[in-house]
Copies of this chain bind each other. A is one copy, B any other.
Amino acid sequence: MDLFYLPHLDKHDAVVEFSPDESRHLCKVLRKNSGDSVYATNGKGIQYTIELQHMNPRKTTGIRIGSSIVPPLPYELHLAIAPTKNIGRFEWFLEKATEIGITHITPLLCDHSERTQIKMERLEKILVAALKQCQGYHLPALFPLTPFDSFVSQHPDALIAHCGAGEKKPLHSLVQGTQRNTILIGPEGDFSRCEIALAQSKKMTEVHLGSRRLRTETAAISACCTVALAWQ
């Protein structure tokens, strides 16, 4: 079942104009006809039923004939993660996290960050593509690249996952039935001593994700799975 992303479809009976790519897909791949229906989402929990009207491989139009509310995840999961040097790995994380379940993503700028710039528009497109593919109705929120200190100031209740010394709790023990989860995942070189000290000074809870050495994006997906499992 193909799902279309139409973020600005507010009004009933609103006319829908599909993009050239979507139009081509509707006409040539899905081979839809006038009068057929497709589903769309605004990424904010609404499922729209669109009745197709004018079929044109460059500009197909339709009309919104119905809408319903799709319940969100029963939990919030906010991952603050240092983007990887190889952006493909970060993009893979965005896709997998969307499939498994995530509500908020903040790219982090850390002392050991290997990537200090990101292209928001491209990353947003990846999230939208992942949402459509897994037929989700709630687009994860992607925040701008945020310095570690700022994020920690805004989220003192967050859990910080790191490989440094010291006593850490297993993540799974802290997310059982916890409705709001915020987890920080460091860059390949881990959080710096300064960053961990700052987190400790704010009494943030330090966690580990098991005894295996995981890449940044793998640690992040492992965290997504851990939270999802706690709510199964």
Binding site for B on A (CB under 8 A): 92, 96, 99-101, 133-135, 170, 172, 210-215, 218, 221-222, 225-226, 228-229, 232
Known A101-B212, A222-B100; contact A229-B229, beta-carbon cutoff 8 A? yes
**Residues A215 and B134 in contact, CB atoms below 8 Å apart:** yes
**Residues B212 and A99 in contact, CB atoms below 8 Å apart:** yes
The residues of B that contact A218 with a CB separation of less than 8 Å are 96, 99-100
User: A229 contacts which of B101, B134, B215, B226 (Cβ < 8 Å)?
Assistant: B226
Nearest Cβ in chain B — how far from A229, in angstroms?
Answer: 6
Going nearest first, the 9 A-B pairs with the smallest beta carbon separation are A225-B225, A99-B218, A210-B232, A134-B213, A99-B214, A222-B225, A96-B218, A170-B232, A172-B229
The residues of B that contact A172 with a CB separation of less than 8 Å are 229, 232
**Consensus secondary structure, chain A interface:** helix
**Residues A100 and B134 in contact, CB atoms below 8 Å apart:** no
**Residues A225 and B221 in contact, CB atoms below 8 Å apart:** yes
The residues of B that contact A226 with a CB separation of less than 8 Å are 225, 229
Q: Can you list 17 pairs linking A and B with CB atoms under 8 Å apart?
A: A92-B92, A96-B218, A99-B213, A99-B215, A134-B212, A134-B215, A135-B213, A172-B232, A210-B228, A210-B229, A210-B232, A211-B232, A221-B221, A222-B225, A225-B225, A225-B229, A229-B229
